[in-house]
Amino acid sequence: MKPEHDFICISDGSGHSDGNHAGGGCCRLTTRDASRTWVFFNAKNHTSVERMELEVFLDALAFLTAQLSDETLKSRPHVLWLCDRRNLVWGATRDIETGDLKAERSTAAADLWARFEYLETIFHVHPVWVPRNSNGFQAETDAMAGRLRVLLRDFSNTNHTISCHQKSKSTTRETGISATPSTTSSNGDSTSEKPPTAI
């Protein structure tokens, strides 16, 4: 009998596979009872669609480690991960009896898989492949990832200076975009929370 999942993650990435273009990622994290939802997103240059999707999923897990109590984390919460990248799902799936991986993990994302292995000690991750845009929430994350990729691509192709804070000096343009996760409670109120501690 499969365990009930404590959280559901729907992730999507946008970009190319060669690692030489801009990419975007988006992840929707929801509690099992749908009482709370968080959305994570990022964008980077010189990356791949696989890296963006895996990284934004890891950001969601890292966020949970900072939000949940030590007592809850000791129980290793179950996270259902819905993903439309077969290579990511296979790379994250282990044989139930032997614990062996179903497929080799990409060496191009060795740093991210190392983060995944650590977070696997905190969460039971259940990756499931789903066809692209097979549900409304997945279509939304796909659209957001695509918009972020195009935003960063267009920004990088022009000469800009940006100011991170009102009082700070202008700096040369950044090559990445990140955001504080937004959260929505069951009553529809939106708030902002501090970004997760980096792992």
pTM score above 0.85:
no
Instruction: Convert 131-157 to b/e letters by CB count within 10 Å (16 or more is b).
Output: eeeeeebbebbbebbbebbeebbebbe
Domain covering 7-192, topology = Nucleotidyltransferase; domain 5 (3.30.420)
Instruction: Count how many residues are written for the chain.
Output: 199
Question: For the chain, which residues make up each domain, given as ranges?
Answer: 7-192
pLDDT at position 129 is 95
Residue whose structure tokens are 């929707």:
28
Q: Which two tokens stand for residue 160?
A: 């800009």
Q: Tell me: the pLDDT tens digits for 160-170? A: 544 444 443 33
**Does position 195 have pLDDT exceeding 60, yes or no?**
no
Q: What percent of the chain has pLDDT over 70?
A: 77
Q: What is d(CA 143, CA 149) in angstroms, rounded to the nearest whole number?
A: 10
Q: Which residue has the higher pLDDT, 94 or 74?
A: 74
**Does position 54 have pLDDT exceeding 70, yes or no?**
yes
Angle subtended by helix axes 136-156 and 49-67, to nearest 10 = 110
